[in-house]
Amino acid sequence: MLREKKAESIIGFDLRKLDGVIIDGFLICSGLSERQVAAITENVRIRLKEMGEGVRHVEGELLNQWVLIDSDDIVIHIFLDKVRSFYRLENLWTHATVMQFESAAIPETSDLV
């Protein structure tokens, strides 16, 4: 779902083995423009609905610089590239299992990516 709108620098964090964390994981990706961030966000909403997954809350759609989608067990962060560089959210979860998703290496069967 992220690749469909050409999201960049996709990375995931598996949080299931961490104490005190109430979600299974999260995904982070980047878009090169606010329009692309909006397109990725809309596509994620549509695809989650098709998969029968709930979207509990969406934050940040007004500016489309950092959009957070809370989908029960997973949280998806869609950043404008320069905003992602500023916040460096990846640095907060160095103790989690990291899943790198290089564009060519992402399996076609991975629904979320």
Q: Using one digit for the tens of pLDDT, what is the confidence trace for 57-109?
A: 999 999 999 999 999 889 999 999 999 999 999 998 888 889 877 644 444 43
The domains of the chain are located at 3-103
The residue-averaged pLDDT of 5-11 equals 93
DSSP state of 46: H
Q: Go through 27-45 and write b for each residue having 16 or more CB atoms within 10 A of its CB, e for each that does not.
A: bbbbbeeeebbbbbbebbb
41's enclosing H/E stretch is helix 34-50
- Class of the domain covering 3-103: alpha beta
E-strand spans in the chain? 8-14, 25-31, 57-59, 66-71, 74-80, 97-101
Cα separation, 24 vs 75, in Å, equals: 9
